[in-house]
């Protein structure tokens, strides 16, 4: 998807998410990766013991929310660092953590957000919707950093200032306007993302550029660690 589509979807996403939080579909949205939303039914979470919580992670297509794209029954180990295990179909009845294979929870497959939500909401069930919203809007690993950059949609001469770029070096993951990107990568010097062209954010100089696959420079702009002031109402 080009940046025209991505920025339009990013602009529409808060309204869609707000509608979801106030709807009665039975699940909370936690994260978006490319065109997939990850969600969870907080009422179906089960505390197995002092460390483990069981639930089901839902995958929802942004363009076609219904029917749900798929689901994964899981168990999370809430001791830090968070770990996640998919429950095989052959395990019937109450999941047994000692028989599962746990792996570190990851950003781009939805498992980190699922684990964080499952562990936190079972400690404070009355805050489920608020926790989901906080995770969707600002959630991420403890080392997550944020800059606000000038970005330009593919095929357009228009520049959009103050676009929020979040990145985590530990997770090697990048989000633009709350949308995590499978194309993202984080290095010591720069953050990269994009498919049709590549964006390069210089972490120290706070400079951004976009290059074509041939290496040709397509755009150059600036970033700022400070959140831009809210737009004035006419």
Q: What is the pLDDT of residue 85?
A: 98
**Same domain (yes/no): 134, 150:** no
Rounded Cα distance between 158 and 217, Å, is 16
Assigned domain for 200 exists: yes
Q: Are residues 26 and 129 in the same domain?
A: yes
Q: Is residue 232 part of a domain?
A: no
Instruction: Mark whether 57 and 109 lie in a shared domain.
Output: yes
Q: Which of 44, 40, 86 lies closest to 59 in space, CA to CA?
A: 40
pLDDT in tens, 107-126: 999 999 999 999 999 998 88
Is residue 120 domain-shared with residue 48, that is, in the same domain? yes
Is residue 27 one of the residues assigned to a domain?
yes
In a domain, 67, yes or no: yes
Beta bridge partners of 180: 33, 175
Tell whether 219 is covered by a domain. yes
Do 120 and 170 share a structural domain? no
Helix boundaries (H) for 89-186: 111-121, 128-138
Distance separating alpha carbons of residues 18 and 213, to the nearest angstrom: 37
Considering the domain architecture, whether residues 54 and 132 belong to the same structural domain is answered as: yes
pLDDT tens, 73-95? 999 999 999 999 999 999 999 99
Rounded Cα–Cα distance for residues 119 and 46 (Å) = 10
Q: How many domains does the chain have?
A: 2
Residues 158 and 126 in one domain: no
Q: What are phi and psi of 50, to 5 degrees?
A: -70, -20
Please report the pLDDT score of residue 231 as a whole number.
65
Backbone angles phi, psi at 44, to 5 degrees: -95, 0
**What confidence tier does 230 reach under pLDDT thresholds 50, 70, 90?**
confident
- Any domain includes 231: no
Domain shared by 34 and 129, yes or no: yes
Per the structure block, which two tokens stand in for 7?
């920025």
Task: Assess whether 23 and 109 both reside in one domain.
Answer: yes
Return mean pLDDT, the chain. Answer: 87
Helix (H) / strand (E) element for 227: namely none
Task: Say yes or no: 197 and 216 in one domain.
Answer: yes
Cβ neighbour number for residue 142 with a 10 Å cutoff: 8
Q: What residues make up the domain containing 159?
A: 145-224
Q: Which of 179, 193, 98 is nearest to 137 (CA)?
A: 179
What digits encode the pLDDT tens for the residues 146-192?
Answer: 999 999 876 667 899 999 999 999 999 999 999 999 999 999 999 99
Is the domain of 23 the same as that of 102?
yes
Q: How many CB atoms lie within 10 A of CB 53?
A: 25
Please give the pLDDT value at position 228: 87
Q: How far is CA 25 from CA 40, 69, 83, in A?
A: 11, 15, 28
- Residue where a domain terminates, one of 103, 138, 173: 138
Give a yes or no: residue 112 inside a domain. Answer: yes
Whether 50 and 126 share a structural domain: yes
- Say if 234 falls within a structural domain: no
């Amino acid at each position: 998807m080009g940046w025209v589509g991505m920025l339009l979807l990013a602009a529409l996403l808060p309204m869609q998410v707000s509608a979801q939080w106030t709807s009665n579909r039975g699940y909370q949205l936690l994260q978006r990766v490319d065109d997939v939303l990850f969600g969870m039914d907080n009422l179906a979470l089960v505390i197995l013991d002092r460390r483990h919580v069981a639930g089901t992670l839902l995958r929802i297509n942004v363009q076609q929310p219904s029917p749900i794209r798929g689901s994964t029954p899981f168990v999370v180990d809430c001791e830090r660092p968070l770990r996640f295990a998919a429950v095989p179909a052959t395990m019937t009845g109450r999941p047994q953590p000692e028989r599962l294979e746990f792996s570190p929870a990851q950003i781009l497959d939805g498992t980190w957000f699922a684990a964080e939500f499952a562990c936190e909401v079972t400690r404070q069930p009355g805050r489920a919707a608020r926790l989901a919203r906080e995770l969707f809007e600002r959630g991420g690993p403890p080392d997550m950093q944020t800059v606000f950059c000038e970005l330009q949609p593919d095929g357009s001469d228009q520049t959009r200032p103050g676009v929020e770029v979040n990145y985590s070096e530990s997770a090697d993951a990048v989000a633009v306007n709350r949308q995590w990107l499978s194309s993202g990568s984080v290095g010591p010097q720069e953050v990269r993302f994009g498919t049709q062209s590549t964006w390069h954010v210089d972490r120290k100089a706070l400079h951004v550029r976009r290059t074509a696959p041939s290496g040709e420079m397509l755009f150059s702009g600036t970033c700022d660690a400070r959140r831009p002031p809210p737009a004035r109402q006419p």
